[in-house]
Every structure is written in C-alpha cells, then in structure tokens.
Amino acid sequence: MEVAKKLQSSRISEIIHSTVEEEDSMQKPKKPIYLRRHIMVKGEFVDLILQGKKTTTIRLGRVIPRYDEMIVHGGGRPIAKIKVKNVIVKKVRELTDEDAKKDGFSSVEELLKNLEEVYQTKINDDDLVTIIEFEVLQKFNELIPEDPYLGLEPADVARLAMRYLRKELSREEYKILEAVAKKNSIRSVAIELFGSLRNRWRIRKVLREALKMLIEKGLLKQNLK
C-alpha cells in the first residue's frame, strides 16, 4: 500500500511513501492519471455525497489530484466543492469491505464489479487502485442567496461557467472567466486585462451573468429556506 498524504495550500504533494513489496519495482510502472479541478461521479452517488455517506472515490490505477480542492460533478451537473483529505494507493487484494463502504458499495466484490464496468477491463489482484478521501466544503444545491455570488468563490463561478456555458460565452467573456479561474481575484484580473481597477465592474458583470445562466439551467440552486 502507498500513501500520498502531504497536502499543501494549493496542491497535493506528489511525494508517495511506498510500502508495496519490492518485487513491484521490477514491473513496468503504469502512467499516473492527474486530476485537475473537476472530478466526475455516477449520478447514483450524488445523494450519498451530499448526505456525507460517500466520503471516498476509488479509481483504477495511480491517480494524483493536482489540487486539494475540486468540484464534483454527477448526473450532468456540479454537485459540490470538496477538499481532498488523503490519497492512498493500494493493490486490489489489499482492499477491504470498509474501503468499499466508504465509496458507497456494500462489499469489495460489488466495488470491483463496478470498476470493471466503468473501465471495461478485467481487474486483477495485483492491479493498483487509488482511494481519494474527501470532505464536502460546499453543496451546490444549498447556495446563499444573500451573497452576490451565492457564497461561491469567483474562481469557482468562472470554472463552472467555462465548463457548462462555453457555447453561450463570447470570446471576451471566456477570456475574463479564464483569468478569474486562474487568479481568483477580481482586482488582479482587472489590472491584468484592463490595466485599471476601475474596470472591475466588467468582471463582476460577467460573473453575475454567468451565475444567472447556471441557475436558469438548473445547474445551481439557491437555499431558499
């Protein structure tokens, strides 16, 4: 089993402490898969995540999240912002029923059946899997109507708009959102793109209009309780 646990402010350290048997070093290493700002799950797991019953996602192979905060998508929409707490790499034969239950399955057998369906391949005992443990920071079906951006970070509004509204965005709007996604600062983007803080209103306008469209499409929901 391998554990990648070093979480830094913006990225997860890629240092992995190995406890896998030495004979593994003789095998051809598999190319790792890197996750960026978005992660997908099946629609059937959406409620489990929002209820706090599914706290991990298990992926085939060596998977490395580049950031410790990501947006989870399921059922064709964004559902939550999560924080990665831990990343563990195991061999399939090391998986336990407890690992499976945290991922929303009743047993290792059910988990492996699902993985084989998803990856369309036969899984062997010596194959590697990555367990990504997370906690929900923000549910996208309970956003704050009193906040100008419903409690979302400007960068998250920008990332969601770039993912779901690409066809509706002008080239200039996309450029603004792309800069906001990178910097998460309206002030910094105003200076970078327009050379003055006086143009912050242009960035805020793009963010508000994008947020409005995301709500109209049913991708985000306000908490009206």
Question: Is there a contact between 90 and 131 (Cβ–Cβ < 8 Å)?
Answer: yes
What averages of pLDDT result for each successive group of 10 residues across the chain (225 residues)? Answer: 52 40 37 94 96 97 96 97 98 98 97 95 95 97 91 97 97 98 97 96 97 95 68
Distances in whole angstroms, Cα of residue 52 to Cα of each of 48, 65, 107? 6, 21, 18
Residues with Cβ < 8 Å from 128, sequence gap 6 or more?
Answer: 30, 60, 61, 62, 89, 90, 91, 92
The pLDDT score that the predictor gives to residue 9 is: 41
Tell me the C-alpha distance between 180 and 177, whole Å.
Answer: 5
Backbone angles phi, psi at 68, to 5 degrees: -90, -5
DSSP state of 223: -
Q: 101-139: per-residue pLDDT in tens?
A: 999 999 999 999 999 999 999 999 999 999 999 999 999
The pLDDT score that the predictor gives to residue 190 is: 98
User: What size, in residues, is the chain?
Assistant: 225
Helix axes 154-164, 171-183, angle to 10 degrees: 140
- 78 in helix, strand or coil? strand
